[in-house]
Amino acid sequence: MNIDDSIKIGIVGAAGYTAGELLRILVNHPCAEIVFAQSGSHAGEPVWTAHADLLGETKLRFSSQFDYDCDVLFLCSGHGKAKPFVEALPESYKGAIIDLGNDFRLAADAGDFVYGLPEAFKDKIVKAKHIANPGCFATAIQLSLLPMAAMDRLPEIHVTGITGSTGAGQAPSETTHFSWRTDNLSIYKAFTHQHLGEVNETLKTLAPSYTGEMNFVPVRGDFARGILVSVYFDCDLPEEAAVQIYKDYYRDKPFVHVIDTNPDLKMVVNTNKCVLNVRKHGRKLHVISVIDNLVKGASGQAVQNMNLIFGLPEDTGLHLKATRF
């Protein structure tokens, strides 16, 4: 399509965090026309009542109904809800579907859904109609490993990752309550996090000798948004060669930046960027990866996938400024 054409968009489950970020991006996307933003709990209300940052940006109101006269549906209703929704779609709907939940990420559940990690599977995404958007931790971890996976050089991997409270979704819980979360840290789902499945499937696809040995310890951070992962593994390459491999792999990937300095979350929050730093410590190669869990880890990547499906430059509408200060 041309940059002057419009993509008619429907958003299902439009009141949550990922949908709010999606709306924020799409109201300024040069090719986006939002046909409906569905929410059972906010039907009839202006979208800014749930997403206050959109006050004055759009006159869109939440709808209780679905309008299937659109080119793409973004599914933001949460895990476990996308599959029954897709199964109930009328046969007349021929548009694209991008699911931001986990219903179609694993091969056993995917059907005709393509795993939407553009830095690994762009050739498949541009031909796809149905996309399973990757998880936030999964995105940060995979981007830290793709260059080595492409060379089939992945031994046992150790990962520690810290995420902001928005990674847990909008529904309140004890561990997202401000008085509990502030000035506090805790480990959760050590070695069993749900994103390990999709990470290992990608790595095994790209690196046939990879055994799936990944030791992942996630940490709840005392901040709202962002993910930082620290990844290390044995590597016999000298540092200069390893860094060059990463820079070469990501040379034509517009959102991934390999830098020689220590990255921090404020470089990426509010953007679709991933920033990597690669260093050698003895026999270990250490990779730091930082992303915004709601943008590159969710809604920004979903728009990136939409751009690819519809033949647009993948960075269209995604030139977002970090909240640096």
CATH number of the structural domain spanning residue 234 = 3.30.360.10
Judge if 264 and 159 occupy the same domain: yes
pLDDT digits (tens, 9 = 90+) for 191-244: 999 999 999 999 999 999 999 889 999 999 999 999 999 999 999 999 999 999
SS3 category, 83: helix
What is the C-alpha radius of gyration for the chain, rounded to an integer number of angstroms? Answer: 19
Distance CA 289, CA 227 (A): 8
164, 227 Cβ separation under 8 angstroms: yes
Whether the CA torsion 276, 163, 100, 5 is positive or negative: it is: negative
Beta strands in the chain (DSSP E): 7-12, 32-38, 62-63, 72-75, 96-99, 114-115, 130-132, 157-163, 186-187, 214-220, 227-234, 256-258, 274-281, 284-291
Judge if 119 and 148 occupy the same domain: no
Judge if 140 and 289 occupy the same domain: yes
* Number of domains present in the structure of the chain: 2
The mean pLDDT value for 267-290 works out to 98
Domain of 57?
7-133+296-309
Distance CA 314, CA 116 (A): 12
Judge if 246 and 302 occupy the same domain: no
Cα–Cα separations (whole angstroms), residue 80 to 62, 77, 204, 234, 249: 22, 9, 25, 37, 34
* Average pLDDT over all residues of the chain: 94
In a domain, 57, yes or no: yes
pLDDT digits (tens, 9 = 90+) for 1-34: 666 679 999 999 999 999 999 999 999 999 999 9
Cα–Cα separations (whole angstroms), residue 132 to 83, 129, 306, 311: 11, 10, 11, 18
- Kindly report the backbone phi and psi dihedral angles of residue 116, in degrees, each rounded to the nearest multiple of 5, phi listed first: -95, 60
Judge if 274 and 212 occupy the same domain: yes
Please name the residue that has the structure tokens 């960075």: 315
Judge if 50 and 179 occupy the same domain: no
Predicted confidence (pLDDT) at residue 169 exceeds the cutoff of 60: no
In a domain, 2, yes or no: no
76 is catalytic: no
CATH number of domain containing 14: 3.40.50.720
Q: Which residues pair with 38 in a beta bridge?
A: 12, 63
In a domain, 184, yes or no: yes
Judge if 189 and 128 occupy the same domain: no
Predicted confidence (pLDDT) at residue 128 exceeds the cutoff of 90: yes
Name the residue among 280, 240, 278 with its Cα closest to residue 259: 278
pLDDT digits (tens, 9 = 90+) for 31-44: 999 999 999 889 99
Judge if 125 and 251 occupy the same domain: no
SS3 category, 75: strand
The token pair that represents 241 in the structure block: 């060669």
In a domain, 221, yes or no: yes
Catalytic residue among 76, 136, 235, 274: 136
The predicted pLDDT at position 97 comes to 98
The predicted pLDDT at position 167 comes to 65
Distance CA 227, CA 268 (A): 9
Judge if 111 and 34 occupy the same domain: yes
How far, rounded to the nearest angstrom, does the alpha carbon of residue 55 sit from its chain's CA centroid?
25
Q: Which of 169-183, 214-228, 279-293 is predicted least confidently? A: 169-183
Judge if 186 and 206 occupy the same domain: yes
